[in-house]
Chains A and B, each alone.
Chain A
């Protein structure tokens, strides 16, 4: 039973606030991904959970223990590092056995666990090698095996796939998901890669400027961004935003087209729609085509709508070229609205 609970954690380096009162609970056996751009504080948060940094404020609980004053070795965690941190002076076997030896387990048990995790990560034939004789992917496998062999309550992963090349990353991603689902540990995984986050996570915590902006299931984060930042950060291409001006009887005018929208005190709010939720239609938003990029299954069309950059993912059968005028209609149930000041999502009543 290892629920992780982070309570009001803050971290300051001098004048710089890296983390600003973070509250987050990760359920037992949950796979939580911390997602954000570099410098958003996600790695700092992970390192605070690991015990590699001390928080300036707040508490960290793992299971029923408060751990923020404990050194890493007493927290019941295992960690996989971005640069693998495979010990170069030890064989693969000794690397995986390292933590087990620290626990003074009997030799037979060490052999059994190393053998099993090595098998699991498909590195059984590499046990006698040294780090220098391994490829990047193999080192990554050793690093994961070393963490898994500890049979920890919690596994922490800091951008473990970011140093692999694209193809290998895809392969390792699928494998990690399988292995970690099997192991039934609680996992916290840091990445800046949204695809990785979407594919692995039970829940994604999107971070920005030292705060958690939204922590929900991947599809929820994608469909219903809690803030403008989430919409613009997640999705490739990201969400489109257009200014919406207040019209009569609670409706909003966007580029000359009227939409039903949320109630707001303000005269102008932001209208948002994902590029793939647009389709050509006579009553749509007027757009002038700037760039057409055929991508195979569909095509990415970059347009100008009332002077704003606006992207649409359209069926590749449509014949378009630069300068064409067309009308793009948003799917009504996919339209989202944001407050321009707070940048928070405005829900329809």
Chain B
């Protein structure tokens, strides 16, 4: 009895394996299609003329027209919004690294009272809907003259990006053995020299990745940007504001301009994404 089932089971086993393989590959392909096709569709719309965008039924091949994007980029206020977006994201990037990296270093290298309190403070930010900060800050900024400025918005975006910067740099610094620094001290370095000559060169790619991460957080943020800026709109705030009024082809061109850098950013930081989350989780 057992012998019979064994031989019977043996034949389909190979079938099951190859069928399993087929299912495996199919599921992966479907999931890739699910992610990529919507982006492709946006690209079609962005690279078609306004007539093609509003035509029905629509072609599933782009018209390869750059009129839309050109028109969008030439549209009143878009250039300025694009500039503002880059400016705000740039300031956010610099601020969150400048504030976050020293904290990450302290957490990874020292034991001291209040360390846990600080970690709780950082982790707590995750449980709060941070864009809402824009509401009270709007009042505060009017008083201090920061309202409707790139810097003011960057401050709010830094609150979003800072906890990530702290956790990411903490995990990066923890990955550099303390012994390397200690070796540098015994070889004649001050604490600062050891950091500058040994730790910094090793950590620079990771810092760059977390800077890019901060940039993306700011670049993509909509709510606070829309609340805090009026004249100096960022790209997201501009698009949100003109959603009801602008024609379709403009929205799609704007969407494409918003997405394009994201594709590049994720490509740049892809190696660090998983390492960052793996350690930031603990």
Which residues of A come within 8 Å of B, CB atoms? 50-52, 71-73, 77-79, 81-83, 85, 87-89, 98-99, 102-103, 146, 150, 156
**B164-216 with Cβ < 8 A to chain A:** 177, 179-180, 182-191, 193, 197-198, 201-202
A83 surroundings in chain B (CB, below 8 A)? 177, 179
- Whether A88 and B202, one on each chain, are in contact in the complex, defined by CB atoms closer than 8 angstroms, is yes
A52, B189: Cα distance in complex, Å: 13
A87, B200: Cα distance in complex, Å: 12
Contact of B188 among A73, A85, A89 (CB under 8 A): A73
A156 surroundings in chain B (CB, below 8 A)? 186
A85-B177, A88-B202, A89-B202 known; A98-B182 Cβ under 8 A: no
- Whether A85 and B201, one on each chain, are in contact in the complex, defined by CB atoms closer than 8 angstroms, is no
- Whether A85 and B193, one on each chain, are in contact in the complex, defined by CB atoms closer than 8 angstroms, is no
Whole-angstrom distance between the Cβ of B12 and the nearest chain A Cβ:
48
B188 surroundings in chain A (CB, below 8 A)? 73, 99, 102-103
A151, B193: Cα distance in complex, Å: 21
The 4 closest A-B pairs by CB, nearest first: A102-B188, A99-B187, A85-B183, A85-B179
A102 surroundings in chain B (CB, below 8 A)? 187-189, 193
A81-B179, A102-B193 known; A87-B186 Cβ under 8 A: no
- Whether A52 and B177, one on each chain, are in contact in the complex, defined by CB atoms closer than 8 angstroms, is no
A98 surroundings in chain B (CB, below 8 A)? 184, 187, 197
Whole-angstrom distance between the Cβ of A214 and the nearest chain B Cβ:
29
- Whether B182 and A81, one on each chain, are in contact in the complex, defined by CB atoms closer than 8 angstroms, is yes
A71-B190, A73-B190, A102-B193 known; A85-B180 Cβ under 8 A: yes
A146 surroundings in chain B (CB, below 8 A)? 183, 187
Which residues of B come within 8 Å of A, CB atoms? 177, 179-180, 182-191, 193, 197-198, 201-202
A85, B178: Cα distance in complex, Å: 9
Contact of A85 among B182, B190, B197, B202 (CB under 8 A): B182
- Whether B198 and A87, one on each chain, are in contact in the complex, defined by CB atoms closer than 8 angstroms, is yes
- Whether A73 and B186, one on each chain, are in contact in the complex, defined by CB atoms closer than 8 angstroms, is yes
A103 surroundings in chain B (CB, below 8 A)? 188
Whole-angstrom distance between the Cβ of A85 and the nearest chain B Cβ:
4
Contact of A87 among B180, B185, B191 (CB under 8 A): B180
A254, B190: Cα distance in complex, Å: 61
A298, B198: Cα distance in complex, Å: 52
A89 surroundings in chain B (CB, below 8 A)? 198, 201-202
A87, B193: Cα distance in complex, Å: 14
A81 surroundings in chain B (CB, below 8 A)? 179, 182-183
Whole-angstrom distance between the Cβ of B53 and the nearest chain A Cβ:
51
Whole-angstrom distance between the Cβ of B226 and the nearest chain A Cβ:
44
B185 surroundings in chain A (CB, below 8 A)? 51-52, 71-73
Whole-angstrom distance between the Cβ of B202 and the nearest chain A Cβ:
6
A52, B184: Cα distance in complex, Å: 11
Whole-angstrom distance between the Cβ of B196 and the nearest chain A Cβ:
12
B187 surroundings in chain A (CB, below 8 A)? 73, 78, 98-99, 102, 146, 150
